[in-house]
Amino acid sequence: MAAQAVPLTQWIPTTRADALDVLETTNTFADAAVALGGHRPTEFCAFIIVMRQPDAVELFRALLHHADKAGQLYALSGLYLLDHDLYLKEVVRYESDSMVVGMTSGCILGAMKASEVVHAPDEGHPDIASGGYPRRFAESKGCSQ
């Protein structure tokens, strides 16, 4: 899939139910900020809403079993931050996962294998296993545009 410019039109979820719906159905794993203005992607905002829930670990665990692949990668990122032991048990099944997910990073839209989002093929690129994406998500200031 050829790289494309990131569109800026988006909807930001505001409720727990909307956030879970976004993460269950998304086919894109997006960084915390995209496009020239550092806009917050819908998926990232949904992740933040779920992270703030008192039962976030249980919600992320459920997403691992019910979400589309990109949503599962967000769930792994959440578990990396909130329950690292559970993350270590679950991440194993993604290490050789060849399913392709949409990927948005900076100003680029592309696609990557799930295993490459977990373990970046190139040193210096963020991934989940090194904590790159989870830390970016945790350090971001929320979803205001």
pLDDT tens, residue by residue, 23-70: 999 999 998 877 766 788 899 999 999 999 999 999 999 999 999 999
Strand partners, 100: 113
Output phi, psi for 75, to 5 deg: -60, -40
Name the pTM for this structure: 0.90
Is the CB of residue 83 less than 8 Å from the CB of residue 39? Answer: no
Residue with the bigger pLDDT between 84 and 110: it is 84
Residue with the bigger pLDDT between 100 and 124: it is 100
Contacts of 107 (CB under 8 A, 6+ apart): 5, 6, 34, 35, 36
pLDDT at 64: 96
Asked if pLDDT for residue 71 goes beyond 90, the answer is yes
> Which candidate, 36, 40, 7, places its Cα nearest to that of 141?
40
pLDDT at 144: 61
pLDDT band at 105 (very low <50, low <70, confident <90, very high): confident
Q: Indicate the domain borders of the chain.
A: 4-139
Distance CA 140, CA 81 (A): 14
Distance CA 132, CA 54 (A): 24
Is the CB of residue 108 less than 8 Å from the CB of residue 125? Answer: no
Mean pLDDT across the chain, nearest whole number? 89
